[in-house]
């Protein structure tokens, strides 16, 4: 199971880790931490040294109820960071966390090699055609509604079945456009109750039937810290537990704030598998 990141082939038969670099002022865990160049470079170098294969850069906060920002503001936040990272780390594989085709277009032209779309193409109708033009891996995430309303009252008849059929439809549409490298993300915490999230984690192996790499993003999320009645800051141990379950159930990529611990989880699980 290999993906082609602009000529760099990444073998996902051994799970990989994607480090999160939020350059938003209001992300749920690390918002506002990486405001200047030296902090951005230091954190990126730390994650790469600890074993991250990809760095996922996000300039639009998608936490529940986050403020909506304009396309221009997102572009102004993200482009200098892409330029900076590519200058400092020429071999870096950058994933851009955006649901906007224009941002995808501009960042891939500047050197980003993956697009990570929380809306799976639902928030910008031009996204799929933009991806097909560049032939970069595309992460399709499932979300009910938008970040502004997704947690109001999420209801499903059978969440696993509904999310699988969502992906089947999206994969079909993307294949029609000759997009080859599609990665799926069930979207923990995006329009789901805590019970929904744990049901998806438990059933993650069923998503292997879609024949696409699976990305799991549970890092420090409220499904973990609310279950333990603690905070995102104190949810590292819970994150490692959930990452381990995700790996045992077939996850190929872990998207995390804490790279070292995720890489260790991968190594331990690989000894078992």
> Could you say which of 63, 192, 220, 221 is catalytic?
221
Give catalytic status of residue 220 as yes or no.
Answer: no
Q: What are the CA-CA distances from residue 245 to residues 10, 158, 189, 200, 268 (Å)?
A: 23, 21, 17, 11, 12
What is the Cα–Cα distance from 164 to 39, expressed in whole angstroms? 39
Tell which residue, 189, 213, 197, 185, has the closest CA to residue 16: 213
Give catalytic status of residue 6 as yes or no.
Answer: no
> Could you say which of 35, 255, 260, 267 is catalytic?
255
Tell which residue, 185, 217, 39, 256, has the closest CA to residue 264: 256
Active-site residues, by number, are: 221, 255
């Amino acid at each position: 199971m290999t993906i082609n990141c602009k000529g760099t082939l990444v073998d996902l038969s051994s799970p990989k880790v994607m480090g999160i670099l939020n350059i938003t002022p209001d992300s749920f865990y690390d918002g506002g931490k990486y405001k200047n160049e030296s902090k951005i470079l230091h954190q990126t170098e730390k994650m790469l040294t600890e074993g991250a294969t990809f760095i996922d850069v996000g300039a639009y906060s998608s936490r529940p109820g986050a403020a909506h920002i304009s396309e221009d503001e997102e572009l102004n936040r993200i482009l200098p960071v892409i330029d900076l990272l590519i200058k400092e780390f020429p071999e870096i594989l950058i994933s851009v966390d955006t649901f906007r085709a224009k941002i995808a277009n501009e960042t891939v032209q500047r050197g980003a090699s993956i697009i990570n779309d929380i809306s799976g193409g639902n928030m910008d109708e031009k996204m799929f055609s933009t991806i097909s033009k560049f032939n970069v891996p595309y992460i399709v995430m499932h979300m009910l509604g938008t970040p502004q309303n997704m947690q109001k009252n999420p209801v499903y008849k059978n969440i696993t079945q509904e999310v699988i059929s969502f992906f089947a439809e999206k994969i079909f549409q993307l294949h029609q456009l000759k997009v080859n490298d599609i990665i799926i993300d069930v979207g923990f915490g995006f329009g789901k109750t805590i019970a929904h999230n744990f049901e998806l984690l438990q059933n993650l192996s069923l998503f292997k039937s879609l024949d696409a790499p699976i990305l799991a993003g549970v890092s420090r999320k409220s499904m973990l810290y609310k279950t333990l009645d603690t905070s995102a800051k104190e949810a590292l141990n819970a994150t490692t537990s959930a990452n381990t379950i995700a790996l045992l159930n077939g996850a190929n990529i872990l998207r995390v704030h804490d790279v070292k611990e995720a890489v260790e989880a991968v190594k331990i699980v690989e000894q078992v598998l």
